[in-house]
Structures are given as structure tokens and as C-alpha cells.
Structure 1
Amino acid sequence: MIGLEGALYPWRFRLVLLVLVLMVGAIAWRIVDLQVFDQRFLQAHGDARSVRHIPIPAHRGLITDRNGEPLAVSTPVTTLWANGKELQSGKAQWAELAAALGQEPKAFNVRLQANAEREFMYLVRGLTPEQGQRILDLKVPGVYGIEEFRRFYPAGEVAAHVVGFTDIDDRGREGMELAFEDWLAGVPGKRQVLKDRRGRLIKDVQVAQNAKAGKTLALSIDLRLQYLAHRELRNALIEFGAKAGSLVMVDVRTGEVLAMVNQPTYNPNNRRSLQPAAMRNRAMIDVFEPGSTMKPFSMSAALESGRWKATDTVDVYPGTLKIGKYTIRDVSRSTGPLTLTDILIKSSNVGMSKIAFDIGGQSIFEVMQQVGLGQDTGLGFPGERVGNLPNYREWRKAETATLSYGYGLSVTAVQLAHAYSVLANNGRSTHLSLARVDRKPDSVQVIPEAIATVIQGMLQQVIEAPGGVYRAKVPGYHVAGKSGTARKASVSSRGYKDNAYRSLFAGFGPVSDPRIAVAIVIDEPSQGGYYGGLVSAPVFGKVMAGALRLMNVAPDNLPPPEPVKVETAAVDPLKGGRI
């Protein structure tokens, strides 16, 4: 039947034969082409089954303080991995391997059995090179080692919130480690090796691409000042039974953050029992109402308006002021007229409110905005909050009064320190930096210099005048500052919590030539008092005293030297001796 069809349709038979011939010819030509002309194709596929590129880990960049002291370093470690299929041939050595790894043999055996079909599994990560080599010397089939790097933090918990930490794969996860990930992370290299079909190394061929180490990052932090601030803040929390606290120190001239500490803190070298709350960099994440620490800025707005002078007085009698259903009260219970300086010394809410009514809430808002409140600091720190500085189309008396003495807005400790650095820098605002600044940065005049100078003198009197915040004094130096005590807002309901306060103090020194601004926030002191002048002011005094001495700042408040009395003996001119 087929022969008959072929005889009837000869062209079909010839067509099929032609197609078959062409197919055989194409296959033959391809074989010749691959073997003679295009040899690279087969070589590439052969290499893909034998030549491998294994990564060469890159050394992560060093993080130092401003003086070159290491804050984060990378140390070489060994990671052990295994081919589950190959491990099955060495079951007799599993007990020895488990003992060397410090793992329970029964659980270890169950794990290896469960991964018997896998060609890759981690056994342990982060061993020292010596520990890793001892285990590799056991020659257990299917066990291999990888060279990696692990991050170590010499300053431990003291600088944890600023520096942050990396994960097990050496990638930044918190703090400056995360913010400068691209700068610190190196570029892994490649090593060309030959492996058999089971993945076993046959020959180390060459380095195909060298690893490129990460760059060094020099922070603005001074580790000496960081230790000092950490110690004093911790001691204050213990003394007053406080829940948490933050301290920020800023270089007035350059905007560099010299110290930033928080309590509670954590050890980045051992995070096994780490509590999430301890990881928060409260100085940049927690926002709060700053209370009376805002009064100097309200006073700046009053002086800048031209309607008030430092010598003007305000009648605060009887120490209360009724606004609708709200009553403003003075803790100091002053009854007579107060000068503008006295209003700051006594921290009079009534006096400050009356001035605010006269100049209007908008002028106070503008000054607070100019010094950086409610604005991004530009530090680029992960999770940083900007707070809230409200602005109203119509400023009613209640909003005007509360803003003037530090309620109704929210700030961070970093913003508070920056705002006081503006006052200390004669009204000039400089961008903050957590990286070391090697040349003097630009600054912008946001408060008239003459007014900033007057405010400096007023804040000096807040500490040095009779009835002032004497606990903030620094022996040998004139310093300036303002305390604050703010009730904590309730999260679950409207209004404020009962018996829950934040104790605050912000200031700068020395007054003759300001160098350092400091802001301190202590959250919920529960024993011994809660006023800012009692709880936070002593921390300011101790930290400022130590910092000025460590920075070799000349004292500006030393007593005049006593005249030296020189005794002279009368001489008898005739005898040549003493009378």
C-alpha cells in the first residue's frame, strides 16, 4: 500500500527524503561547527560544570570616633557548612562532629537526617578561625568552611544607639551602620576554582576579582564625652528611679554631635536577650512636650518684636491666669511684678503668657521654626522623627499661651540641643552632623545677634541669680540654661497622666565664648522629686564640667588672684644688719 502511494505521488516521497537529508546535514554541520569553529560554546558549558566562582568576602569599613578611636571593627570568622548528601557517608563521625560543634548529639543527628537530600546547610556561623580549623581537621566528609567577617563594637553599650549593629550577614540594620551602609559595605571579590560534579574542590585556579574593602567612617562623637555622658545619665536614672533618659551634646560652632546617649541601652556584641525597647535611640525617636525650656525662644520673639525690653516688667499677681475653662498657674507663686529675666528665673507661666498675648502666637511660632523645631535635622538617621510645631490660621489665647511655655508642640532631644546651640552661637544656625566635620560649615543668622546675646545673659542669671537653678552651676565657668518640667500626655485617653513627668534641662557654656550645648531629658523619675532643676540640672552641671575640661576650654569664672604679700626687713645703715 505504501509502495503504491509512493508510486502514485513520487514528489511527496522525494520531499520527505530531502527534509531528512537536510536535517542530517544541519546536525552534521553543527557538530563540525562546535568541534572546529565555535569551540568556546562547549568549553563554556564544560566549565559551568567544573569551573566555579566562589565569593571572597569584603572587609567592612571601620567606624571611629572623631579622634580615631574604633567604634566598630570587622574581625575574620569561619562559617561551617555541609553537603547533606555527602554527610551520609560519614555517619560514624557524626558524634565527634557534634561534640566539636558543642551541640547535643541526638538533636544534631535528627537535623542531619532531615537535611539528607540538601546540598547546602549551615552547621555553625561566626567561629574564630582557630575553632573552625580544628573542626575542619576532623576531615568529616561533606563539611566545608567559608571565610566571613563579624562586626565587633569596642565601646559596647556606651555608643550602641549611635553606631547601631549589623546582622549575621554583615549588613547594617541599625544606627550609622544602616545609615551609611553603602559607604561601609565593601564589594565582594571572586575566586575561580575547579570542582567535580559533587561540588568538591579540585583546584584553586585564580582570583578573578579582588574584594574591595569598605570605607572608614569617622563620626563626630568624642568617645571620652560619650563615656562621661553615659555614666552621669545612668547614675541620675538610678538615683531618681527614672524609666528612661536621653542626653545630647552639640558643638556650638560646627554643629557636630559630640555625645548622644540613651538609657536603657544594650550590648551590641551580645544580643541574645535583647529587649526591643532598649534598641530605641530615644534622643532621635521619642518626641515630647519640652515645657519651660521653650521660654527663652518665646522671650526672643518678644524682644525681636520691639515691643519689649529686658528691663520691662509684667504683673503676675495672683500667680494664676484664667483662660476660659483653663487656669494657668505658676509653681513659684510669685505675686509681684517680674522683669523678663525674672520670668525666666521664676519660670512664670503667667508672665510668659501675658507677653505672648501681646506679641501673638505667630511670632513665637516663627522663632521656634527658625531654630529647627518641627523640622528635619538633616542627620539622615534611620527612624528619626521631626516632632510637631503647630501653626494656626487664628491664634486663640489658649494655643498662644501653651506654646509660649512649651506645651502643644513636640520635639526630640536632638532638636532641643540644636535649638539651644543656636542661642549659644549668637543666633546663627548650623546644620547638625553625626560625621566628623573637617572644615567650618556655613551657618545662617536666624535670631538677631544682639537679641541672642541678651538671652544668653538672661539664661546665665537663671543659673547664677539667687533662687536660680544652682544645681546646674559649673565651678570655674559661667554657664547658661533653662530647666523644664513637663507632664506626660496619656496615650489611652485625653489629657495627661497622673504623677508622670519628664524632667528637662538645656543649656550651654561657657557664656563668654560658648562651645557646647547640652539637652537632657529624664523620663518619669519616681523617687526624690521630678522637677527639671532637681533631676536634670545636676547632670548638666557634671557633664558640662567634665566636657569643658576634656576639651581644654579656658575657665571664665575664676576668682581674682590674691595679691602676694612680700615682707621686707628694715636694715640699720650703720651696722648693716636688720633692725
Structure 2
Amino acid sequence: MKPRQRTSPTARRHAAAPSSRRRMLVMGGVLAVASLALAARAFDMQVVRKDFYQNQADARILREVPIAVSRGTIFDRNGEPLAVSTPVVSIWANPAEVLDNEDKLPALAKAIGMDADALKQYLAQRSEREFVYLKRQMPPDAAQVVLDLGVPGVNGQREFRRFYPSGPVMAHVLGFTNIDDHGQEGLELAFDDWLAGKEGRKRVIRDRQGHVVEDLELVRAPQPGRDITLSIDRRIQFLAYNELKNTIQQSDADSGSIVILDVRTGEVLAMVNWPTYNPNALRGSDPSSRRNRAMTDVVEPGSTIKPFLMAAALSSGKYTPTGPMVDTGNGNFYYISHTIRDTHAYGLLSPTGIIAKSSNIGAAKVAMTLDTGLMSDTYRAFGFGNSTNSGFPGEASGYLKPGKSWGMLEKAILAYGYGLNVTPLQLANGYATIADNGVMHLPTFVKGSDNEPKQIIDPKIANELVQMMVAVTQPGGTGAPYAWIPNYGVAGKSGTAHKATAGGYSKNNYSSAFAGIVPASSPRLAAVVVIDNPRKGSYYGALVSGPVFVKVLDGALRLLDVPPDNIGRWYVGGPLQGQNGLTGTKQPTVETVDDAPVEGATP
């Protein structure tokens, strides 16, 4: 057996040398491969898929954000602001970032007025989103308190909120906007495109907490909303609001409306409804109180329609203001199984007397002598059965049957205001047309906007109608002394109509109206007051609506500096004088309640 040979340390070192070189070579190869891999990855990211990664980075850093714009201001005709936009701040958050800082949730919740647990649940349910609102439209000071908490992921966004200085007084005319400042009702909706403007857009860089650190470029310049000046006179509107509200509350009525027009332009100077609402605090308001009843609700006009019947009668050539006389008998007229009644036995009445005494029988007998086409065309020419085209959202057209379908009884009933329905605005516009020498203007809510006036009836006839209606407010007329304005001549007509119900007409529910023109000698204003179902005191139009007309128009004439036309006299002289004992006494006639066109419906 050979002995084992022992190797020296030197020999062992020489033997290990090739092994170290191999390791170095292997390590070098690994590093080379890794370098190539990194280079390939860098090439892939920076060249092959550059756009993808750039977009991913931009999505986390670059943002295109809106630039809020202020909605245009709405002014009244005298430059008083009616609707303005005020700056507010909406608080928004990235739910995931906020939840990562759960210890700050209680303070955040308290600052925005939420329960901490509810806020946590709200954020957890939306944790996959990057943007959620926490509180919309906070006052800037209150919003700054929230932002000063420094909660990661919580930010503020500047917006605008609509404010209405006149509150419920202007509510039905102006309407309101939603939380995104878009018009929802009224003129805010009608002129939304004009008022809203267009928000701008800009590209910004945000840090990881969502704060803007740099504005990069303006993508689209903001276009602020444009202002608009209405025809409404805020002073007259307040006056009308107070008088209408007081009368409805005192008479325990369901609702009411008043409309006042400038007869020379068709401009709406005031439009008020009750009940109303506060557009600054919509939550909890009754939706029915938001209706602009002067535009959307219709009524049967009762005796307020009689001047338009007389317009047809005078146009026919068969009648003048003084004749021929019409025999109204003993106050009861039986025709085709229907009894038409007056409250008194008036006997012979002139056409002016029929208006002054509000004789249903006289109106019916005049209508029966007229050509059906002429009567129908006259009603339609004054706008009944068609929208006024005022541009107000939701405006009703009213209803008037085609004339070719009218029978003799229908003509008689239409003569004293049943069988058709109108809006208060339509009725006011009809009276304004008579007042302006028979020229119709489209009603408008914009100051200085008079669109293509149209001659409806002969100016001579229009002037005669005004004088015939003056007789209503003279001694012996149904409007005296309730519709008398000191030192101003008033031409008007009252109307008291039974309200329609399912299957007929109510015996005890009424629509009480007064429509008039002032000053009578040189008309400037036309107005209609409608009170729905007064329960306390009288229900006659002259007694309920007449005083509202007087108080509001008396104030309006003075506010507009309209000179008096009747100084020192109790009434304006007209064609009624000396006829049928209708002058010489200041005792008022009890107003006729216009008979409902069904048996048994009258008192």
C-alpha cells in the first residue's frame, strides 16, 4: 500500500485559482444579463410603451380641472339685483387617502357636519373612486376651517351659489337653480343658456395629496354668464305681494294671483302668486306652492269676459255703447232648458248698462244676435285659447272650443264667461290690448323687448270699450266704490264665477276676479286680480279682488309718476250718464254671480 501524498499549500492555491476565475466569469455574466435586461426594460418603457407609461404618470400627476364661472345677474327694470351668484367652496376627497388617516375622521366629520361613523361608511363604500363630494357649496370661511385640518386627500373646489335677495316675493317669476347652478324653473330656466355662461378648463399638476402645485396651460377660457334686465319693477312687485297675501289670509282663500302690464309695451311690471315659497331654502317647501299660477293655472273668467263680447258686438255694427236697448226682463231668462239669472230685474239696458250692471241676461241676448264666426274670431284675436308666447316655461294655453261647434246656448254661456278658461296673464293681456287702442303686444319679462305689436280691433271701438268699463266704477256700477282710485279714472270689470267640480259646478266655491285699466283717459297699466275660493266675508269679485286692485294700482301709479286724470271728481263722465237711473247715487249695485251652465248650481 502506497503512502498518501501530501500537497503543499502552494499547490492547493494553484488548484483553486481556476475555480475563482470561473466564479468571477459567472458573476460577470449574470451582471451582463441583468444589465441587458434593464436596458431592454428601459427601452420598452421609454420607447416601445412610452405613451402608455406617460399616460399613467399623467393620470397621477396631470389633471384637467374646471374653472367655475359666475352665472349672470338678474336685475329689475330699475337696476336692483333680483338674482345674484355668490362664491362658495365644495369639499371633495379621495376616499382611499382619507381612510388611510382614520384618526383624523372625527375632526373632519365634525367640520362638515356629519357623524364620524357615517362618514367612514360613506368613504368605504366609495373607496375605489378618486373623487367624491363631502359637502357642497359651503361658505368660504367654513370651508377653510375644513381645509385647515390638513387631512390628506381632502380638497376644496370653488363654485357659485344662487341667492335671491327678494326671497318669496319674486319666487314664481325667477324660479331657481339646482346645486350645479342650472335653471330649473321660471326665468332661470327660460334664460338658462343666456345666464349660465360656459365654464373654462385648465391643465394642472397636483401632488400626491391632490393639491395643485402648478398651472400648466389654459385649455378653454371661461365665459361668464350674461346679465339680464327684467321688465319687473321690484317696488310694485313688493306692493302686490303684500296686498295679495293679506287679502288671501283675511278671506281664508285657497290661492290668488295678480298680474300688472304696461299697456304700451306688454312688459310685465309685476306678477305675484300666493301661496309662495322661498327659493333660498327649497328643502321642505310644498311643490304646489312653486307653481306660477298666473301662467300655469286656468280659470273660467266669468263676467270679466263681457268687454270682449262687447268688442264683437260693436265690431258687428249692430250695437253702439248706447244702443239698441236690450230687455233683460225680470232677472230670469229661460232658454233651452237653462235659466240665466241676474240678481235684479234691470229691465231695458244699453250695452254700456249691461257692462255696468254685469247683466248675464243682457250679455247672453247680445251674443245670440251675433254671427258665431265673428264672436269666436274676436275671442281668439284677443288671445283666448292660445298661449301668449311670453316664453315662460310651462305656460298654459287655456281652452276655447272652435267656433264652428258653438250652439246658441253655448254662445249665451260664453257671453258671461263659462265654457272657456284663461290664465290671469291672458286676461290681463286682453285688457291691455283694449287699453292700447286695440293694439296687442306680446307679454314680455325683458325690459325693452316689444315684439311686433298687432292691431286687433278698431281704435275707436277700443276707446268706446274703455268708456263702457268706466261705467262699472261709477255710482250704480258693480265696481263702485270698491274699484275707485282717488284722482284717477278706472275702467274695469269684476267677475264672480262658480268653480267647476267633478260632474258640474260647485254651489259654494267661487273664483273672484277684477280686471281693470288705469288711468282711464290715457291708459298706462292693465291688471288682473284673481282670488280662488274665498271663505270669509264676501266672495264677489268687486268686493274681494277690487280692493286689491285699488291698493296696488294706486301705489303703482304714484311710483311710476303717472299724472292724475280725475282730480277732485268722484268718477269720470262717460256714455252711461243719464241712462236707466245708473247715475245720481253712490250706492253700489249687488254684483251678479255669473250663473254656472248647469241647472241647480246657482245659489
TM-score by length of 2: 0.84
Rounded Cα–Cα distance in structure 1 between residues aligned with 2:477 and 2:368: 27
Q: How does 1:171-190 map to 2 (within 5 A)?
A: 171-190=182-201
Kept after mapping to 1: 8 A contact 2:153/2:209: no
How far 1:446 sits from its partner (Å)?
0.8
Kept after mapping to 1: 8 A contact 2:428/2:528: yes
Q: Which runs of 5+ in 1 are unaligned?
A: 1-27, 561-579
Aligned to 2:486: 475
Rounded Cα–Cα distance in structure 1 between residues aligned with 2:45 and 2:94: 35
Aligned to 1:383: 394
Rounded Cα–Cα distance in structure 2 between residues aligned with 1:249 and 1:281: 14
The letter for the 1-side match of 2:329 is: Y
- CA offsets 1:409-435 (integer angstroms, 9 cap, x no match): 010000000000011011111111111
How far 1:116 sits from its partner (Å)?
3.3
- Is 1:292 the counterpart of 2:306? The answer is no
Q: How many residues align?
A: 528
Aligned to 2:119: 108
How far 1:133 sits from its partner (Å)?
1.0
Rounded Cα–Cα distance in structure 1 between residues aligned with 2:125 and 2:50: 43
Aligned to 2:333: 321
Aligned to 1:93: 104
How far 1:209 sits from its partner (Å)?
2.6
**1:145 alignment partner, one of 152, 156, 163:** 156
Kept after mapping to 2: 8 A contact 1:360/1:395: no
**1:429 alignment partner, one of 416, 434, 440:** 440
- Is 1:419 the counterpart of 2:430? The answer is yes
- Is 1:343 the counterpart of 2:382? The answer is no
Cα distance, 1:111–1:461 mapped onto 2, change above 3 Å: same
Rounded Cα–Cα distance in structure 2 between residues aligned with 1:200 and 1:429: 60
Other structure's SS at 2:394 match:
coil
Aligned to 2:93: 82
Kept after mapping to 2: 8 A contact 1:481/1:506: yes
Other structure's SS at 2:99 match:
helix
Rounded Cα–Cα distance in structure 2 between residues aligned with 1:79 and 1:178: 23
**1:559 alignment partner, one of 568, 575, 589:** 568
Kept after mapping to 1: 8 A contact 2:372/2:404: no
Other structure's SS at 2:89 match:
strand
The letter for the 1-side match of 2:468 is: M
- Is 1:460 the counterpart of 2:497? The answer is no
Aligned to 1:307: 318
Which of 333-342 and 400-409 deviates more? 333-342
Rounded Cα–Cα distance in structure 1 between residues aligned with 2:506 and 2:411: 23
Other structure's SS at 1:496 match:
strand
- CA offsets 1:375-434 (integer angstroms, 9 cap, x no match): 221111111111011124253221110111111001000000000001101111111111
Aligned to 1:451: 461
Aligned to 2:417: 406
Structure having the higher Rg: 2
- CA offsets 1:148-187 (integer angstroms, 9 cap, x no match): 1000001100000000100011111010110111101111
Cα distance, 1:81–1:394 mapped onto 2, change above 3 Å: closer
Cα distance, 1:187–1:369 mapped onto 2, change above 3 Å: same
- CA offsets 1:529-574 (integer angstroms, 9 cap, x no match): 11101100011111110010000000011128xxxxxxxxxxxxxx
Rounded Cα–Cα distance in structure 2 between residues aligned with 1:145 and 1:51: 17
- CA offsets 1:269-299 (integer angstroms, 9 cap, x no match): 0112110010000000001110100001101
- Is 1:501 the counterpart of 2:510? The answer is yes
How far 1:95 sits from its partner (Å)?
1.0
Aligned to 1:576: none
How far 1:33 sits from its partner (Å)?
12
The letter for the 2-side match of 1:547 is: A
Kept after mapping to 2: 8 A contact 1:74/1:151: yes
Cα distance, 1:56–1:452 mapped onto 2, change above 3 Å: same
- Is 1:525 the counterpart of 2:528? The answer is no
Rounded Cα–Cα distance in structure 1 between residues aligned with 2:404 and 2:307: 24
- Is 1:244 the counterpart of 2:271? The answer is no
Cα distance, 1:211–1:411 mapped onto 2, change above 3 Å: same
Rounded Cα–Cα distance in structure 2 between residues aligned with 1:166 and 1:518: 29
Which of 96-105 and 303-312 deviates more? 96-105
Kept after mapping to 2: 8 A contact 1:58/1:214: yes
- CA offsets 1:230-283 (integer angstroms, 9 cap, x no match): 011111101111000000000000110000000000000011211001000000
The letter for the 1-side match of 2:465 is: I
Rounded Cα–Cα distance in structure 1 between residues aligned with 2:342 and 2:462: 26
Which of 109-118 and 509-518 deviates more? 109-118
- CA offsets 1:334-370 (integer angstroms, 9 cap, x no match): 2421111111111111011111111133322211111
How big is the alpha-carbon RMSD for the aligned residues of Structure 1 and Structure 2?
Answer: 2.2
- CA offsets 1:296-349 (integer angstroms, 9 cap, x no match): 110111111011122121111121111222111112x12421111111111111
Rounded Cα–Cα distance in structure 2 between residues aligned with 1:475 and 1:176: 35
Kept after mapping to 2: 8 A contact 1:362/1:395: no
The letter for the 2-side match of 1:454 is: E
- CA offsets 1:452-494 (integer angstroms, 9 cap, x no match): 111111101111232441211101100110000111111xx22
Kept after mapping to 2: 8 A contact 1:81/1:123: yes
Aligned to 1:566: none
Kept after mapping to 2: 8 A contact 1:294/1:406: yes
**2:284 alignment partner, one of 263, 268, 273:** 273
Kept after mapping to 2: 8 A contact 1:63/1:216: yes
Cα distance, 1:430–1:229 mapped onto 2, change above 3 Å: same
Rounded Cα–Cα distance in structure 2 between residues aligned with 1:137 and 1:68: 39
Other structure's SS at 1:435 match:
coil
Aligned to 2:385: 374
The letter for the 2-side match of 1:527 is: K
Kept after mapping to 1: 8 A contact 2:153/2:210: no
Which of 517-526 and 199-208 deviates more? 199-208
The letter for the 2-side match of 1:459 is: M
How far 1:48 sits from its partner (Å)?
4.7
TM-score by length of 1: 0.87
Q: How does 1:351-370 map to 2 (within 5 A)?
A: 351-370=362-381
Rounded Cα–Cα distance in structure 2 between residues aligned with 1:227 and 1:377: 25
The letter for the 2-side match of 1:501 is: Y
Aligned to 2:601: none
How far 1:35 sits from its partner (Å)?
6.6
Kept after mapping to 2: 8 A contact 1:323/1:397: no
The letter for the 2-side match of 1:216 is: D
The letter for the 2-side match of 1:433 is: T
Other structure's SS at 1:472 match:
coil
The letter for the 1-side match of 2:510 is: Y
Q: How does 1:165-244 map to 2 (within 5 A)?
A: 165-195=176-206, 201-244=212-255
Kept after mapping to 1: 8 A contact 2:152/2:209: no
How far 1:49 sits from its partner (Å)?
4.8
How far 1:201 sits from its partner (Å)?
4.1
The letter for the 1-side match of 2:108 is: L
Which of 169-178 and 366-375 deviates more? 366-375
Kept after mapping to 2: 8 A contact 1:246/1:283: yes
Rounded Cα–Cα distance in structure 2 between residues aligned with 1:428 and 1:512: 16
Other structure's SS at 1:471 match:
coil
